């Protein structure tokens, strides 16, 4: 197939790839709808022999515990990576993880997908894994350098050249794929323009854009020589675990199997596919299969007919279906949502049957507790913590007066505004989340972190993360039919809000606020669960990490636009 071109062309550019750059608010409610070693000996072999006699050496010449001990010592600052007390270079432990997605916060974000790609990778790195993210370069990110590495890829009927940019932040290699299909269309880091000229309208070339991303992502671990980490250096190599996210990256396992594995490349590499929102599947006209440059035997994995019970005329291709069938394991962002996806066509959005065959694992998302920390939040004028959770008396009085003076008044701002989102969640007492479905949901966690009680629908991750009467209020599950609002659902919103208002200002309310703020909502717990799943895939060289003591400090220069 012509598609083997990518691997061949990429290898021609490896010589180019050496790279080392050192590089209470006026409304009490906020409602947001959003929807690892290389063992290298110097002349101190007697010490090495001593180690060998003390420990059972593994195939790479190091006993796991020894490696971990040294790693931990380095983390505590007891030794530097260039200090080799035992004549052993240790390049790391754990797994080599490559996350691929169309969004990665803070560089690009339209919602929770960007947040997850921003937060989970540093948490995995904190646990001792070598971690890379690959996403498009939508803008001239000022903190991401040109590696000078070019890769040629066959996309559609053309050969396209992409350039790889890189920065190293919070223990993670952030790789950005530069191509006019991304930058020339978007020129910005956030907003609906990532996917189309305006919200709800897709770019015609989206399939080609995402083919390009998947193909480039499969080259990066083999061509990028990255040396910024204290613990790791050189190429990631082939024993990696790819984590593909949502339908845009569903072709990654297909290209891995059609281009690389037949050529003996990435023999032990595995792919985990994570569903953040099954509502978006990448359904296209069947003839578009030709655009993808995949062998015909992949057709059944893509083959799809709209309308489960009443099939609609005309076959389609379905990217997410192929991603699910061709990956080594499927994850989603909460256990309850995983169960909902298996429950039937309505919640499984017609992929429930496929998921029942493959199985799916739900792990609740964490949140970035550094970005969302009311004690240090740069977007709010008065910082606070659990001991100062209450508003000023004067303002509380003004609030009461506002309600009396302007009954039934509220403000609605339909804009993507990060500072405002922080201010609303920090300033509000309640956040109403009336989701018809919610795979995990981050705003309820951001609210709880800020001491703002969620009043939420009982669906998906909201069930897993909000405890009735303890950390918030549940309204019950809503109809998933989007064409009309069910009056029963509207009544449930009203009655639950009334119930929450009765608690407002009481000792029970203050206890709930304390309960919310006392929780560890960070990525630490979820990252351990992710590690367990990814280790079980058995990519060569995969080992458990360590217990990360803390997530690395927030990078000084975090947001990156010209």
- Closest-by-Cβ residue to ligand ADQ is 111
Residue from 365, 370, 496, 522 that binds ligand ADQ (CB under 6 A)? 365
We find the least distance from the C-beta atom of residue 238 to ligand ADQ, in angstroms, to be: 28
- Contacts with ligand ADQ by CB under 6 A: the residue count is 24
- C-alpha 449/C-alpha 509 separation (Å) is 15
- Helix, strand or coil for residue 116? helix
- C-alpha 420/C-alpha 26 separation (Å) is 13
Does 436 help bind ligand ADQ (rule: CB under 6 A)?
Answer: no
Residue from 349, 440, 500, 527 that binds ligand ADQ (CB under 6 A)? 440
- Binders of ligand ADQ among 266-325, rule CB under 6 A? 276-277
- C-alpha 507/C-alpha 518 separation (Å) is 16
- Binders of ligand ADQ among 30-59, rule CB under 6 A? 32, 34-35
Buried b (16+ CB within 10 A) or exposed e, 304-321: beeebeeeeeebbbbbbb
Nearer to ligand ADQ, 421 or 432 (CB): 421
Residues written for the chain: 562
Nearer to ligand ADQ, 39 or 124 (CB): 124
Which string of x and - marks every residue 446-485 that binds ligand ADQ (by CB under 6 A)?
Answer: x--------------x------------------------
Nearer to ligand ADQ, 112 or 136 (CB): 112
Judged by CB under 6 A, which stretch of 173-181, 343-351, 442-450, 488-496 contacts ligand ADQ? 442-450
We find the least distance from the C-beta atom of residue 271 to ligand ADQ, in angstroms, to be: 18
CB half-sphere exposure, 102, CA atoms < 13 A: 27
- C-alpha 24/C-alpha 116 separation (Å) is 28
Which string of x and - marks every residue 78-97 that binds ligand ADQ (by CB under 6 A)?
Answer: --------------------
Alpha-helical segments (H) within 360-429: 393-405, 418-427
Judged by CB under 6 A, which stretch of 377-385, 433-441, 500-508, 533-541 contacts ligand ADQ? 433-441
Which string of x and - marks every residue 520-559 that binds ligand ADQ (by CB under 6 A)?
Answer: ----------------------------------------
Residue from 305, 418, 493, 537 that binds ligand ADQ (CB under 6 A)? 418
CB half-sphere exposure, 14, CA atoms < 13 A: 14
With tokens 């019970």, the residue in question is 309
Residue from 417, 479, 495, 536 that binds ligand ADQ (CB under 6 A)? 417
Which string of x and - marks every residue 372-411 that binds ligand ADQ (by CB under 6 A)?
Answer: ----------------------------------------
We find the least distance from the C-beta atom of residue 558 to ligand ADQ, in angstroms, to be: 15
Specify whether the backbone of 162 is left (phi greater than 0), alpha (psi in -120 to 50) or beta.
Answer: beta
Residue 430: beta bridge partners? 29, 453
The count of other CB atoms within 10 Å of the CB of residue 14 is: 16
Nearer to ligand ADQ, 116 or 477 (CB): 116
Which string of x and - marks every residue 94-133 that binds ligand ADQ (by CB under 6 A)?
Answer: -----------------xxx-xx-----------------
Judged by CB under 6 A, which stretch of 151-159, 209-217, 435-443, 491-499 contacts ligand ADQ? 435-443
- Helix, strand or coil for residue 472? strand
Judged by CB under 6 A, which stretch of 352-360, 374-382, 390-398, 414-422 contacts ligand ADQ? 414-422
* C-alpha distance from residue 505 to each of 121, 450, 484, 493, 500 (Å): 39, 17, 35, 20, 10
Question: 183 near 107, Cβ under 8 Å?
Answer: no
Question: 17 near 149, Cβ under 8 Å?
Answer: yes
Judged by CB under 6 A, which stretch of 50-58, 247-255, 304-312, 415-423 contacts ligand ADQ? 415-423
The count of other CB atoms within 10 Å of the CB of residue 49 is: 11
Question: 315 near 286, Cβ under 8 Å?
Answer: yes
- C-alpha 323/C-alpha 475 separation (Å) is 34
Judged by CB under 6 A, which stretch of 122-130, 161-169, 281-289, 441-449 contacts ligand ADQ? 441-449
- Helix, strand or coil for residue 109? strand
- C-alpha 261/C-alpha 328 separation (Å) is 14
With tokens 């191509």, the residue in question is 179
Q: Which residues bind ligand ADQ (CB under 6 A)?
A: 32, 34-35, 111-113, 115-116, 276-277, 333, 365, 416-418, 421, 438-443, 446, 461
């Amino acid at each position: 197939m012509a598609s083997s071109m990518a691997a061949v062309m990429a290898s021609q550019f490896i010589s180019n790839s050496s790279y080392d750059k050192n590089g209470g608010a006026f409304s009490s409610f906020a409602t947001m709808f959003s929807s690892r070693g290389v063992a290298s000996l110097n002349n101190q072999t007697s010490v090495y022999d001593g180690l060998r006699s003390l420990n059972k050496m593994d195939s790479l010449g190091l006993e796991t515990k020894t490696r971990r001990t040294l790693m931990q010592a380095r983390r505590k600052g007891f030794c530097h990576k260039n200090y080799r007390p035992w004549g052993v270079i240790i390049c790391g432990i754990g797994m080599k993880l490559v996350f691929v997605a169309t969004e990665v916060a803070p560089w690009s974000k339209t919602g929770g997908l960007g947040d997850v790609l921003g937060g989970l990778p540093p948490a995995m790195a904190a646990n001792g894994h070598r971690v890379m993210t690959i996403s498009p370069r939508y803008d001239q990110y000022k903190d991401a350098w040109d590696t000078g590495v070019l890769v040629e890829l066959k996309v559609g009927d053309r050969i396209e050249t992409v350039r790889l940019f890189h920065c190293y932040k919070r223990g993670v290699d952030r790789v950005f794929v530069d191509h006019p299909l991304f930058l020339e269309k978007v020129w910005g880091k956030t907003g609906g323009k990532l996917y189309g000229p305006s919200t709800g309208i897709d770019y015609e070339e989206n399939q080609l854009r995402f083919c390009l991303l998947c193909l480039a992502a499969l080259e990066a671990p083999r061509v990028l020589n990255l040396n910024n980490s204290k613990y790791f250096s050189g190429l990631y190599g082939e024993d990696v675990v790819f984590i593909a996210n949502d339908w845009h990256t569903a072709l990654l396992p297909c290209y891995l199997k059609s281009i690389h594995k037949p050529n003996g490349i990435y023999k032990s590499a595995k792919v985990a596919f994570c569903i953040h929102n099954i509502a978006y599947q990448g359904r296209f006209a069947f003839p578009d299969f030709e655009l993808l440059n995949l062998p015909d035997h992949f057709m059944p994995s893509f083959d799809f007919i709209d309308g489960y019970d009443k099939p609609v005329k005309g076959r389609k291709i379905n990217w997410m279906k192929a991603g699910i069938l061709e990956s080594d394991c499927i994850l989603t962002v909460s256990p309850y949502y995983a169960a909902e996806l298996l429950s039937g066509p309505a919640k499984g959005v017609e992929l429930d049957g496929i998921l029942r065959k493959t199985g799916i694992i739900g792990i609740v998302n964490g949140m970035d507790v550094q970005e969302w920390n009311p004690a240090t939040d740069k977007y709010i004028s008065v910082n606070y913590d659990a001991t100062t959770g209450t508003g000023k008396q004067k303002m509380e009085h003004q609030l009461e007066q506002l309600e009396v003076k302007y009954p039934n008044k509220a403000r609605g701002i339909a804009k993507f505004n990060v500072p405002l989102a922080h201010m609303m969640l920090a300033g509000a007492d309640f956040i109403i989340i009336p989701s018809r479905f919610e795979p995990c949901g981050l705003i309820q966690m951001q609210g709880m972190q800020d001491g703002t009680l969620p009043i939420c629908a009982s669906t998906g991750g909201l069930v897993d993360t909000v405890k009735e009467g303890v950390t918030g209020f549940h309204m019950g599950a809503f109809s998933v039919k989007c064409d009309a609002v069910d009056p029963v659902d509207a009544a449930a919103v009203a009655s639950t809000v009334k119930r929450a208002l009765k608690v407002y200002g009481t000792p029970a309310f203050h206890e709930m606020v304390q309960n919310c703020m006392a929780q560890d909502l960070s990525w630490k717990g979820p990252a351990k669960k992710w590690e367990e799943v990814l280790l079980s895939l058995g990519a060569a060289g995969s080992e458990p990490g360590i217990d990360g003591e803390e997530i690395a400090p927030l990078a000084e220069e975090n947001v990156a636009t010209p």
